[in-house]
């Protein structure tokens, strides 16, 4: 029931890359090899460099799109066959797919684990407050087919699992395997600035609110992350300092230095940046959304993501009260300490075993 070699899909655009690299390290340490298959835009040189110490992980960059960057379902038609053939040629014995749509139409006899880190349908509901428009319905249909094909479905938070059930009408079980933080994130000397990190072209990250709130904040706001996407989406900061895409090491350095970390996102199925910032010792000011309430509750200030004045007031209150800020940072760091790589692996390996058992049962029928 324990896989020897896992094919894991990944993209180099958002937080799934960080999730996958950290998880590959844990899997490798437990004796499991990983073939990391990257779809969508190729990884940057600094991202590829992160694989240097992972001797049991290999990277393959595939010429295939991500569903949320594809123009239609037809553009994704070849993805299942590509993954099937890659797994067969490379001797993999389990597929760990980080986009549900990638499981739609799979014909492999291998166990299939699908993890829904995010999707267009749940994003649309959270950000726009409505169901997908008809022209985007193919996203929902492909994901639904992927959920049906999977032996096991996972989400990184109970909030995301609930959103999937509501959006897709799922009645099957959805396991929750939280993301893991960085065990070596040691705090440094704090500096008086607010740090934020996200792919800011994504409307769900709520860059407009952060930029509007920055006008009234007592401290400067430094925003790391891409402001331009390959599909034409973009955002221009006018009041916060836009740092652009940074390496993971550079991002961690700023997290260790920042006194406050801010995330005004309207949609976060987990929020790995907030976890790493808390582990680095920054006080958290986060959007009051289901995921952040679930994970951080009293270990962060939770603020209405539609109110820039309230966001600025929360930051300014912490800026003016060092004792409160330090106490909140300590609470956040303690909470972040619960999200370890060991805990993640302890939850994931039984899911792998359940997928293997399910797949074997179906083969025997």
Give yes or no for a contact between 149 and 95, defined as CB atoms under 8 angstroms apart. Answer: no
Residue 149 in tokens: 């094909």
For the chain, the average pLDDT equals 95
Q: Which domains does the chain have, with CATH numbers?
A: 5-180+341-364 (3.40.50.2000), 191-336 (3.40.50.2000)
Provide the pLDDT for residue 232: 77
Is residue 182 scored above 90 in pLDDT?
Answer: no
- What's CA 363's distance to the chain center, in Å? 33
pTM of the model: 0.94
Cα 66-72-59 angle, rounded to 5 deg = 20
Quick: pLDDT tens for 301-348. Answer: 999 999 999 999 999 999 999 999 999 999 999 999 999 999 999 999
Quick: pLDDT tens for 268-312. Answer: 999 999 999 999 999 999 999 999 999 999 999 999 999 999 999
Tell which residue, 268, 250, 272, 353, has the closest CA to residue 23: 272
Count CB atoms within 10 A of the CB of residue 169: 8
Tell which residue, 312, 277, 281, has the closest CA to residue 292: 277
Quick: pLDDT tens for 22-33. Answer: 999 999 999 999
Average pLDDT over residues 41-66: 94
Give yes or no for a contact between 64 and 82, defined as CB atoms under 8 angstroms apart. Answer: yes
Is residue 95 scored above 80 in pLDDT?
Answer: yes
Determine the 3-state secondary structure of 243 from DSSP. strand
Give yes or no for a contact between 172 and 147, defined as CB atoms under 8 angstroms apart. Answer: yes
Distance CA 211, CA 213 (A): 5
Determine the 3-state secondary structure of 345 from DSSP. helix
Q: Alpha helices of 66-220 — where are they, by DSSP H?
A: 79-89, 120-128, 137-149, 158-168, 207-214
- What's CA 17's distance to the chain center, in Å? 8
């Amino acid at each position: 029931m324990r896989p020897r070699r896992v094919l894991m899909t990944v993209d180099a655009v958002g937080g799934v890359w960080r999730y996958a690299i950290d998880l590959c390290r844990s899997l490798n340490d437990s004796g499991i090899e990983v073939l990391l298959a990257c779809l969508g835009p190729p990884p940057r040189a600094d991202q590829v460099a992160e694989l240097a110490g992972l001797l049991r992980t290999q990277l393959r960059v595939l010429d295939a799109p991500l569903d949320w960057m594809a123009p239609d379902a037809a553009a994704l038609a070849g993805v299942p066959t590509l993954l099937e053939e890659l797994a067969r040629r490379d001797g993999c014995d389990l597929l760990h797919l980080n986009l549900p749509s990638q499981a739609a139409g799979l014909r492999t006899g291998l166990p299939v684990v699908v993890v829904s880190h995010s999707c267009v349908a749940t994003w649309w509901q959270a950000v726009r407050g409505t169901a997908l428009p008809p022209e985007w319905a193919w996203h929902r249909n492909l994901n639904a087919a992927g959920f049906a094909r999977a032996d096991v479905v996972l989400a990184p938070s109970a909030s995301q699992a609930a959103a999937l059930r509501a959006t897709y009408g799922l009645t099957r079980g959805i396991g929750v395997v939280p993301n893991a933080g960085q065990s070596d994130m040691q705090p440094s000397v704090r500096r008086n600035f607010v740090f934020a990190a996200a792919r800011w072209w994504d409307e769900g990250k709520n860059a407009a609110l952060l930029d509007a709130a920055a006008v009234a904040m007592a401290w400067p706001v430094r925003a790391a992350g891409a402001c331009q996407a390959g599909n034409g989406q973009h955002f221009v900061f006018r009041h916060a300092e836009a740092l652009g895409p940074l390496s993971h090491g550079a991002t961690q350095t700023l997290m260790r230095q920042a006194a406050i970390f801010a995330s005004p996102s309207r949609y976060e199925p987990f929020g790995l940046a907030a976890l790493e910032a808390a582990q680095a010792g920054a006080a958290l000011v986060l959007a009051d959304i289901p995921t952040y309430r679930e994970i951080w509750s009293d270990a962060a200030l939770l603020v209405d993501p539609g109110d820039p004045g309230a966001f600025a007031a929360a930051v300014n209150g912490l800026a003016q009260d060092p004792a409160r800020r330090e106490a909140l940072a300590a609470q956040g760091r303690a909470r972040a300490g619960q999200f370890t790589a060991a805990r993640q692996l302890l939850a994931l390996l039984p899911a792998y075993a359940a997928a293997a058992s399910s797949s074997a049962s179906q083969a025997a029928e």
